[in-house]
Amino acid sequence: MRYLNVAEKNDAAKNIAAILSRGASQRREGFSPYNKIYEFDATVMGQQAHMIMTSVSGHLLNYEFGPSFRNWKSCNPVALFDAPVVKMCPEDYQKIKRTLEREIRSCQGLIIWTDCDREGENIGFEIIKVCSDVKPNLRIYRAKFSEITAASIFRALNTLGQPNKNVSDAVDVRQELDLRTGAAFTRLQTLRLQRVFPQKLADRLISYGSCQFPTLGFVVERYQAIQDFIPEPFWKIKMNHTVNDITTEFTWKRDRLFDKNACEAILDICKESPNATVEKVEGKPKSKWRPLPLDTVEMEKTVSRKLKITAKDTMKIAEKLYTQGLISYPRTETNIFPKELNLANLVTLQQNDQRWGAFAHRIMNEGGPAPRQGKKSDQAHPPIHPTKHADNLTGNEQRVYEYIVRHFLACVHKDAQGFETVVTADIAGEKFTAKGLIILEKNYLEVYTYEKWNAKEIHSYQQGDTFIPSVLELYEGATAPPKLLTEADLIALMEKHGIGTDATHAEHIDTIKTREYVGLHENIYFVPGTLGMGLVEGYNNIGLEVSLAKPILRADFEKDLKLICDGLKDPEVVRREQIQKYRAVFETVVEKMRQIDECLANRLADRPQVVEDEHYENVEVRPVLKCPKCGNDMTIRNKKNNAGKFISCTGYPDCRNAIWLSQNVETIEVLDESCPQCGPNVKLVKMKFKQNVFVGEPNPNTLCIGGCDINVLEALDINLSSVKRTNGVRNNQNHNIHQANANNVPNNNHNNGHTQNHPNPRRDSWPSNTTTFNPTPGPSGPSNRSNTTMNQDDIVCACNLEAVQLTVRKDGPNKGRKFYKCKNQTCDFFLWASDEPSNANTTINSQQQNDVKCKCDLPASRRTVSKEGPNKGRPFYCCPKPMGQGCGFFQWADEDNDGGGDGGPGDDGHGGGPQRRAPKTKTSRGAPPYRAKRKCSKCGQEGHTKNKCPN
């Protein structure tokens, strides 16, 4: 049995391989220089196995918008909430992907060794996808480990489990939402504000991110709190007592008063009889607690405060120390050591160090490590601790390593012990207290040099002692505003509100600095810049239920993600709800953008330019149909150099299915309505042609290109296999014709009063074509005129101009026939001068039964219901005129001609009584396009097109 083992990063693969192979692995190269391959033998589930170990480098796949949405001006940013997204392997990860694809071929099993957190689980599924695509039916296992130590790794191998899809799904939802919201708001802000404030913002990227904005919001909020702060004066009584150079400071029990007169009055009373009496002397042991086991956030905060290294640098250094095997995984939320972790061994590892080796010895000599237990656990990684001794580090790496070791040794030792004395004295009824502290045992403080515990010496008092204070006076102070946020404060706020992960707090802070939303005051305090201030004020003031600059939106999202992980909420539901939520916010922002301009104008001290709405190319967002090859959506895109349109699979480049439209297609719009014949996945499209392909029909025309009408596909030169799953059987044309009629003719009012899209379902290739359907005017043309005697003066084209009468000169069955068309040739109007049926009339006319007449007194057409339902196969008569222009006559062919009947052939439940209802002339949506047989444009015969013309 051969297993491919995949870790999340190369160093992890290397270390795991070293452990499992007991140092005897063979190294090979992958396609990527970073991700090596290690080979060795091991025992897996009691059996000898050959192991191939390699790694990815974090996520292997990433969500991206479909190609037509990547250009910033390709679409209105709001479209990004619906735009198709695909998971792609970025170019610089292709080599890693290829390595996996190559290596899995020789294996029967796959073991996922990614980090045991949410992202790791998702990365695991990415690896599974890539490998399964190449090799289905793999045995797939998940190794769960919390640190790369022999014990943990062997335990993982001996307790292999299954990957957790719920956890991975949550990450997918998170990724998609972050992409959509980030891109939509970033484009909106950047494109607009660059033009509104060209002087100040022309070259600025004004990004939005669901983490960076709330982080900015914290900085602004604190800054505003300081700005809004009004100091309030207060007064207190200061009292101290000096004996033999020792000054004991007493604190007034009332602390402070905000009324000067009252304070002065009390002081006066005290001064009248200033003799202080010691009422009580209390002594009690006092501890200073050792730190909790170290988690990421605590490390970032303390290192930032004490070592003045930014959180971003700290994490970078910690990552490096981890990959060198010197410390445990640095991204952890856990502050409880697992029972199985051998702390004594870890302490012993540090015993030879010159700086803290003696302390490590002392721990072992005083009962061994005894950590405090925190309350947090991510169930994935233990608290950060040293895993190896190192004394060759330098610079900040050394400082961070030293901090981690000292913290570890401190947290497994003992609290510092002291003795506190509290003295209470009375002066004229006012109480004062003084505290003294004697430190008995420094314990952890001896190694944890980042904290101080100062002893405070006070005079030795006994109960009943009296003394005259050395100082007894009024002290005037004022309340002070809160301080500006430090990085440690900011991280604490992010953690509290669930903004970002332990691994990313530092990056978000760095981002808002890079964007110049915030700056640093005295190098440690965060202050908002003018842009950041204006943006937050803008978003806070436009009446959003929840401002984008507040943490609530993201925090709510995180709660949902947790529910997905726990299997309590459907990821698809969360995805839909969250998209909807953010889209609503986006729409409000767009609506109120001018208010945001004003806030920014105020802060930037710049006048906003009046700008027109951004022009977008308006890519069609709605999918036209599902790709028959891969099932992804197919959407309309522009060809290169604006040379027309095509409909492309959003699975590109994995799926290269495309529907190429000729340059004759001027516009194409996807309608809301699905094709009743092709089903809900195929939308009708409205196409406008430069030169009308379907002469006599309206232009633009509503069509289905889903393959239900082979004529449409042929006319547009669309390959059936690109729109429909084919198994070698072509669609039945007659079926389609019948279906169309059955749906539309007798019972065409079942769509909210709308009727057929095609007032004229017949088409021809005007007028040089030799086929002889009866073309009639488009929607704007004069209806019902084709059957009456017409003067040329009566004929008005779609431009509302008098039409010109011409004669067909081209050889063919229509040679010599007269027709009308637009005299300026600005519209596609066409009308035969006479409605005499041509001798080439086919399909419809061939079905006419001359003994039944419609209300126009024309021989009615006999047709058959082909739509599924109780009337399928039943013959009926209807007006032969095109939809929208006939009389609406309907009669079952198998019943007496009594004008009654039990309803039309439609099976939509709306049957009964609509038989004689005249079709409305307005176009409708929802009814299937009516199609007739198409004829060859070369010879005029049915059954083939010009491309396949045998003549």
329 is catalytic: yes
Question: What gap in Å lies between CA 291 and CA 448, rounded to an integer?
Answer: 9
Nearer of residues 397 and 697 to DNA, judged by Cβ: 397
Of the residues 100, 183, 434, 671, which one makes contact with DNA according to CB under 7 A: 183
Task: Give yes or no for a contact between 27 and 51, defined as CB atoms under 8 angstroms apart.
Answer: no
Nearer of residues 172 and 426 to DNA, judged by Cβ: 172
Nearest approach in angstroms of CB 58 to DNA is 2
Of the residues 15, 18, 30, 59, which one makes contact with DNA according to CB under 7 A: 59
If we measure between CA atoms, which residue out of 868, 802, 873 comes closest to residue 831?
802
Nearest approach in angstroms of CB 342 to DNA is 24
Helix or strand or coil: residue 637?
strand
Nearest approach in angstroms of CB 589 to DNA is 15
Nearer of residues 118 and 385 to DNA, judged by Cβ: 118
Nearer of residues 299 and 822 to DNA, judged by Cβ: 299
Residue 651 interacts with DNA (CB under 7 A)?
no
Task: Give yes or no for a contact between 332 and 381, defined as CB atoms under 8 angstroms apart.
Answer: yes
Residue 300 interacts with DNA (CB under 7 A)?
no
Question: What x-and-dash track marks residues 817-836 binding DNA by CB under 7 A?
Answer: --------------------
Q: How many CA atoms, within 13 angstroms, populate the side-chain half-sphere of residue 270?
A: 26
Question: What gap in Å lies between CA 671 and CA 665, rounded to an integer?
Answer: 16
Residue 312 interacts with DNA (CB under 7 A)?
no
If we measure between CA atoms, which residue out of 432, 150, 176 comes closest to residue 279?
432
Residue 621 interacts with DNA (CB under 7 A)?
no
Tell me, letter by letter, the H, E, C secondary structure of 306-329.
HHCCCHHHHHHHHHHHHHCCCECC
Contacts (Cβ under 8 Å, ≥6 apart) of 404: 294, 299, 318, 321, 327, 384, 385, 386
DSSP 710: H
Nearest approach in angstroms of CB 393 to DNA is 17
CA distances from 422 to 213, 437, 464 (A): 48, 9, 14
Name the one range near DNA by CB under 7 A: 69-77, 305-313, 396-404, 455-463.
Answer: 69-77
User: Tokens representing 434?
Assistant: 């003084």
Tell me, letter by letter, the H, E, C secondary structure of 385-420.
CECCCCCCCCHHHHHHHHHHHHHHHHHCCCCEEEEE
Spot the catalytic one: 141, 208, 322, 329.
329
Residue 552 interacts with DNA (CB under 7 A)?
no
Residue 551 interacts with DNA (CB under 7 A)?
no
Of the residues 57, 541, 595, 842, which one makes contact with DNA according to CB under 7 A: 57
User: Tokens representing 678?
Assistant: 């092709």
Q: How many CA atoms, within 13 angstroms, populate the side-chain half-sphere of residue 606?
A: 19
User: Tokens representing 616?
Assistant: 């977008």
Nearer of residues 170 and 416 to DNA, judged by Cβ: 170
Nearest approach in angstroms of CB 346 to DNA is 22
Nearer of residues 92 and 793 to DNA, judged by Cβ: 92
Nearest approach in angstroms of CB 469 to DNA is 57
Nearest approach in angstroms of CB 14 to DNA is 9
Name the one range near DNA by CB under 7 A: 201-209, 406-414, 523-531, 645-653.
Answer: 201-209
Of the residues 39, 117, 298, 764, which one makes contact with DNA according to CB under 7 A: 117
* Secondary element (H or E) of residue 685: strand 679-689
Distance in angstroms between the alpha carbons of the first and the last residue of the chain: 65
Of the residues 1, 29, 34, 477, which one makes contact with DNA according to CB under 7 A: 34
What sign for the dihedral angle of Cα 11, 13, 16, 19?
negative
Question: What gap in Å lies between CA 41 and CA 38, rounded to an integer?
Answer: 10
Question: What gap in Å lies between CA 183 and CA 788, rounded to an integer?
Answer: 59
Give the CA dihedral 558, 560, 563, 567, nearest 10 degrees. -120
Question: What gap in Å lies between CA 593 and CA 764, rounded to an integer?
Answer: 51
Name the one range near DNA by CB under 7 A: 51-59, 673-681, 802-810, 917-925.
Answer: 51-59
Of the residues 313, 319, 451, 556, which one makes contact with DNA according to CB under 7 A: 319
User: Tokens representing 290?
Assistant: 């050792």
Nearest approach in angstroms of CB 32 to DNA is 7
* Secondary element (H or E) of residue 493: helix 487-497
Q: What are phi and psi of 16, to 5 degrees?
A: -65, -45
Residue 408 interacts with DNA (CB under 7 A)?
no
Question: What x-and-dash track marks residues 323-352 binding DNA by CB under 7 A?
Answer: x-------x---------------------
Of the residues 212, 424, 733, 739, which one makes contact with DNA according to CB under 7 A: 212
Site size with DNA, rule: CB under 7 A: 55
Name the one range near DNA by CB under 7 A: 50-58, 370-378, 628-636, 651-659.
Answer: 50-58
- 96-115 binders of DNA (CB under 7 A): 96, 115
Question: What gap in Å lies between CA 854 and CA 860, rounded to an integer?
Answer: 5
If we measure between CA atoms, which residue out of 837, 922, 930 comes closest to residue 878?
930
Name the one range near DNA by CB under 7 A: 154-162, 203-211, 682-690, 931-939.
Answer: 203-211
Residue 234 interacts with DNA (CB under 7 A)?
no
Name the one range near DNA by CB under 7 A: 138-146, 200-208, 715-723, 783-791.
Answer: 200-208
DSSP 75: S
Helices (H) and strands (E) in the chain, counts: 21, 31
Residue 182 interacts with DNA (CB under 7 A)?
yes
Nearer of residues 183 and 266 to DNA, judged by Cβ: 183
- 483-542 binders of DNA (CB under 7 A): 500-501, 503-504, 507-508, 511
Residue 438 buriedness (CB in 10 A; 0-12 / 13-18 / 19+): middle
Report the relative pairing of strands 859-864 and 848-853 from DSSP bridges: antiparallel
DSSP 224: H
Nearest approach in angstroms of CB 872 to DNA is 49
Q: What angle do CA 498, 124, 111 make, to 5 degrees?
A: 140
Residue 179 interacts with DNA (CB under 7 A)?
yes
Nearest approach in angstroms of CB 322 to DNA is 8
Residue 614 interacts with DNA (CB under 7 A)?
no
Of the residues 36, 144, 187, 603, which one makes contact with DNA according to CB under 7 A: 187
The widest CA-to-CA distance across the chain, in whole angstroms, is 133
Nearest approach in angstroms of CB 319 to DNA is 7
* Secondary element (H or E) of residue 666: strand 665-675
Of the residues 36, 118, 241, 762, which one makes contact with DNA according to CB under 7 A: 118
Of the residues 72, 234, 616, 660, which one makes contact with DNA according to CB under 7 A: 72
Residue 174 interacts with DNA (CB under 7 A)?
yes
The amino acid present at 627, given as its one-letter code, is C
Question: What x-and-dash track marks residues 119-158 binding DNA by CB under 7 A?
Answer: x---x-----------------------------------
- 677-716 binders of DNA (CB under 7 A): none
Of the residues 194, 541, 662, 845, which one makes contact with DNA according to CB under 7 A: 194
Residue 211 interacts with DNA (CB under 7 A)?
yes
Q: Taking the CB of residue 275, how many other CB atoms lie within 10 A of it?
A: 13
The label of the residue with tokens 């040089």 reads: 768
Name the one range near DNA by CB under 7 A: 61-69, 576-584, 685-693, 914-922.
Answer: 61-69
Chain residues that interact with DNA, rule: CB under 7 A:
8-11, 32, 34, 55, 57-59, 62-65, 70, 72-73, 92-93, 96, 115, 117-119, 123, 174-175, 178-179, 181-183, 186-187, 190-191, 194, 205, 207-213, 319, 323, 331, 500-501, 503-504, 507-508, 511
Catalytic residues: 329
